[in-house]
């Protein structure tokens, strides 16, 4: 009887050699390295985009707030920058009060809380009048005195952040015949601390590498006239320029916004 050798079902199959395993691990490591690098790049890109979006939103908030107050200001006082080429913060404006306290409800001014310094809080509208000599608008209380508030914009700092703060001082009264536009910006005299309130308009940060030793790397606000020169008393428009550095790695990359504001109260006096 002739017997046939048993068939080997696993013939032609063998385990991976050490060299093949090392090659496979090398390829896997390369793929993981590419995935990690791509993930880090995406995270950095996301963080950079978020930082720039935050900076832009804060810049727009400052521009909007400044525009409203500048348009209503009857007197202004800018600070000259260190290089003497532009105006900068702090900025103090005299703004007529268009509301008076409502004696039935409550005072128009609150020193604390979310509505601190809001002249429209529980208030009655003042009846506007007209300067006989200039034709400009004037706002007087029930006794015939003109009433105004001082609005001051200034820099603030906290840790790695630089902020812009809006402070209100009230009330300021002038005689019925005086012209607020020709008065010195408020406060004059300085009001009681009980009549001072401030809010943070916006906050800018350069993250962990921020250094307030050079605060212009985080935020810089300047003002010029239409000819890009220092503002004079005869100018009726102000160009606001806000520079922020959202990227802590490259603070030289600035987010810059400009806005031209016409000084309505000054223009039509």
The whole-number average pLDDT for the span 140-167 is 83
Averaged pLDDT score across all residues of the chain: 79
Q: Would strands 99-101 and 237-244 be described as parallel, antiparallel, or unpaired?
A: unpaired
Three-class SS string for 75-101? Answer: EEEEEECCCCCCEEEEEEEEEECCEEE
pLDDT tens figures, 100-152: 665 555 555 565 666 666 655 666 677 777 777 767 677 777 677 777 888 99
What gap in Å lies between CA 266 and CA 178, rounded to an integer? 15
Convert the pLDDT of each residue in 25-43 to its tens digit: 888 888 888 887 877 776 6
Once rounded to an integer, what is the mean pLDDT over residues 55-83?
Answer: 92
- Confidence bin at 12 (pLDDT 50/70/90): low
More confident residue, 208 or 217: 217
Q: Can you give the pLDDT at residue 243?
A: 93
> What local confidence, expressed as pLDDT, does residue 97 receive?
79
Tell me if 230 sits within 8 A of 86, measured CB to CB: yes
Across 16-25, 84-93, 125-134, 188-197, which has the greatest mean pLDDT?
84-93
From the list 244, 257, 187, 188, the residue with the least C-alpha distance to 218 is 244
Distance in angstroms (rounded) separating the CA atoms of residues 206 and 258: 21
Q: Give me the phi and psi of 16, to 5 degrees please.
A: -70, 140
Per-residue confidence band for 10, with pLDDT thresholds at 50, 70 and 90 = low
CA distance readout (Å), 127 to 99, 139, 140, 150: 9, 7, 7, 20
Task: Answer yes or no: is pLDDT of 210 > 80.
Answer: no
User: For residue 56, is pLDDT > 80?
Assistant: yes
Q: Indicate the length of the chain as a whole number.
A: 269
Query: What is d(CA 114, CA 43) in angstroms, rounded to the nearest whole number?
Result: 36
List the structure tokens of 27. 């390829």
CB 97 within 8 A of CB 139: yes
């Amino acid at each position: 009887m002739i017997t046939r050798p048993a068939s080997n079902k696993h013939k032609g199959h063998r385990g991976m050699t050490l060299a093949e395993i090392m090659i496979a691990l090398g390829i896997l490591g390369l793929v993981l390295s590419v995935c990690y690098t791509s993930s880090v790049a995406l995270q950095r890109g996301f963080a950079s985009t978020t930082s720039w979006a935050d900076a832009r939103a804060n810049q727009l908030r400052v521009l909007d707030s400044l525009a409203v107050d500048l348009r209503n200001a009857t007197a202004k006082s800018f600070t000259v920058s260190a290089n003497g080429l532009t105006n900068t913060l702090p900025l103090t404006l005299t703004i007529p009060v268009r509301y008076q306290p409502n004696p039935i409800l409550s005072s128009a001014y609150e020193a604390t809380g979310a509505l601190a310094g809001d002249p429209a809080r529980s208030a009655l509208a003042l009846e506007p009048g007209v300067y006989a000599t200039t034709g400009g608008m004037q706002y007087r209380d029930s006794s015939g005195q003109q009433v105004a508030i001082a609005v001051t914009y200034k820099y603030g700092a906290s840790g790695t952040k630089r902020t812009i703060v809006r402070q209100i001082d009230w009330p300021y009264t002038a005689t019925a015949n005086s012209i607020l536009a020709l008065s010195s910006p408020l406060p004059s005299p300085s009001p009681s601390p009980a009549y001072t309130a401030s809010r943070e308009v916006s906050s800018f940060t350069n993250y962990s590498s921020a250094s307030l030793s050079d605060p212009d790397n985080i935020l810089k606000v300047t003002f010029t006239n239409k000819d890009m020169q220092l503002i004079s008393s005869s100018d009726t428009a102000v160009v606001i320029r806000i520079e922020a550095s959202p990227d802590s790695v490259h603070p030289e990359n600035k987010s810059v916004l400009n806005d031209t504001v016409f000084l309505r109260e000054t223009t039509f006096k």
